Structure 1
Amino acid sequence: MKILIIEDERRTADLIARFIKQYNNSFSVIGVIDSVEKGVNWFIHKTEMPDLILADIQLTDGSSFDLFDQVNLELPVIFITAYNEFALNAFRLNSIDYLLKPFNFSDLKKAFDKFIKTKDAYLRANLTEYNQIISTGHKPFKRRFLVRSGIHYKYLSTDEIAYFFAEEGLVFARLLKGGRSIVENNITELNGVLDPEQFFQVNRNTIASIKAINKFSGYFNRRLILQLLPDNYEVIVSRERVHVFKEWLNK
């Protein structure tokens, strides 16, 4: 396991490195970066990419968010910082966990355990998908989502989801049993990976499961208004999609 540390306090970086070795002696630290500028240069010239990044947020010349924006990374990150107000931004990245300073070995161990569990589950899911592509000749539709609740991960089966909706720049999965979770895909991406037998994009902001459609009725300007379970959430089917929606229901 190759790990990159992004931390501008040398003592903290050394402590993180010791904790990493204490967790698993076979893990190796392949670099320590203390600024955005050095981080950009490191990623531009380095051929060996880390499996995991442990990052402080405030650096000497900016933030680690600035670094990730410039190098466009999609690597898992454990954030370790003295500031809790950045949790939402961390949440929108590939954040495994968000630890507040001062931290101890137990905190880091829990974060590493979560990463290992997530990584193993991701590899198993990819192997299952690969085998299905080989046997059927096409990519399977998405059956589950790895989502975050606060700073924690959990799995959602598509069978649990009533509808997806976009709100204030985020996309949420509303559950049939109640509650909601943020998903990392946008509505267009979701529409491309969900089973069209089960889900239908009713308008630009909402994708509904067949299980969630409680009832619907005519609406002005030849549109439809749906009531979706579990909370009778009302959503409008755009006029250009009404005919296709009725055909979908009548399959």
Structure 2
Amino acid sequence: MRSYKTIIIEDEKPAARLLHRKLTLLGFQDVDLLHSVAQAKKWFETHEAPALIFMDIQLSDGLSFDIFEELEIETNIIFITAYDEYTLKAFKLNSVDYLLKPILDDELQFAVEKFEKFNNPLPTQALLDKKTMLFPNQLPYKSRFTVKIGLQIKLIDCDEVECFYAQNKGNYLFTKNKEEYLIDYSLEKLETVLDPRLFFRISRNYIIQVKAIKNINIHSATRLKITLNHCPFNNIIVSRDRVSIFKNWLD
């Protein structure tokens, strides 16, 4: 059974109900139906982000893209539409697939399986064991980084890092000594080389170290604000769609 939270954003109610029935046959258990841009915005303001969104593009009160212009939503999306003119714009968002109406059952199932394939990583220990097996003479995760300071190269141990962040097209690390350095790693690459027991990507712009967390405060109904031991930044916010995963990671 597929118990992860899913929403359908579709202004044509018969089409929304039909898709809901198709998803029920595929084992979906927790699906909400929304029918407009305004209703979707209100829903996201009061709920944690779902795991998956099925979304028509042209809604009765505007384009569904309008939802993302005001809200930071990183949830995966399967677009459902009668038109293919928005394909490029759709794939600039977190698009998993783009299904043209009428939706065929096999295409729907393929899109769902595609989403699950890329969003069900192996458990941390399984990843650790697999990496150790493939590279027996290497440490499974990075233990230090090299940074350039003028003509010098400095070593920074991962234990010294409070967070990694992206800013102004650059990526940086911030240490518990209140030092920040430009690094050659993207945040996407960092996710693959850092120990996931110690580091967690809370948003598009931040990866934080668990030992560096000083306080966790409720920022809104669906978001959390992080204060680190030494980092002075006041915009370290857990994205809506990461809150639930973040809480499980802390446990």
Give TM-score, length-normalised by structure 2.
Answer: 0.51
Instruction: Give the Cα–Cα distance (whole angstroms) in 2 for the partners of residues 49 and 139 of structure 1.
Output: 34
* Residue 21 of structure 2 corresponds to residue 18 of structure 1: yes
Q: One-letter code of the match for 2:106?
A: S
- Alpha-carbon RMSD across the aligned residues, in angstroms, is 3.1
CA shift for structure 1 position 188: 3.8
Alignment CA distance shift 1:84-1:135 (3 Å): closer
Aligned residue runs from structure 1 range 128-207, under 5 A: 128=127, 138=143, 188=170, 191-193=184-186
Q: Which residues in structure 2 correspond to 1:66-77 (within 5 Å)?
A: 66-77=66-77
Q: Report the equivalent of 1:35.
A: 36
Report Cα offsets for 1:76-109 as digits up to 9, x if no partner: 0000001101000111111000000111211111
Instruction: Give, in angstroms, the shift of residue 53 of structure 1.
Output: 0.3
Write out per-residue CA displacement over residues 108-158 of structure 1, whole angstroms, 9 at most, x where no aligned residue. 1110111111112xx2387647x99x9756489xxxxxxxxxxxxxxxxxx
Q: Match for 2:5: what amino acid?
A: K
Find the residue that maps to 1:42 and give its secondary structure.
helix
Question: 1:85 and 1:136, CA in 2 relative to 1: closer, same or farther beyond 3 A?
Answer: closer
Q: Which residue of 2 aligns with 1:124?
A: 122
- Which letter maps to 1:192? Y
Deviation, 1:187, is 6.4
Larger radius of gyration: 1
Partner Cα separation in structure 2 for residue 98 and residue 126 of structure 1: 31
SS of the counterpart of 2:15?
Answer: helix
Distance (whole Å) between structure 2 residues aligned to residue 80 and residue 136 of structure 1: 39
Whole-Å Cα distance in 2 between the matches of residues 44 and 33 of structure 1? 14
Name the CA distance, whole Å, in 1 between partners of 2:86 and 2:29.
28
1:109 and 2:104 correspond: no
Q: Distance in 2 between matches of 1:97 and 1:58?
A: 16
Q: CA deviation at 1:54?
A: 0.2
Rounded to whole Å, the distance in 1 between the matches of 2:144 and 2:33 is 39
Task: Report the counterpart of residue 85 of structure 1 in structure 2.
Answer: 85
- What is the aligned residue count? 144
Q: Partners of 2:184 and 2:82 in 1: how far apart? A: 39
Structure 1 unpaired stretches of 5+ = 141-185, 196-251
Distance 1:41 1:126 in 2: 35
* Structure 2 unmatched runs, 5+: 133-138, 146-167, 172-182, 191-251
Aligned to 2:53, what secondary structure does the other structure show? strand
> Alpha carbons of 1:72 and 1:139: their partners in 2 closer, same or farther (altered >3 Å)?
farther
* Runs of 4+ with >6 A deviation: none
Provide TM-score, normalisation by structure 1: 0.51
Deviations 1:190-212 (A, max 9, x none): 942369xxxxxxxxxxxxxxxxx
Structure-2 change in CA distance of 1:125 and 1:10 (3 Å) = same
| Counterpart secondary structure, 1:98 | strand
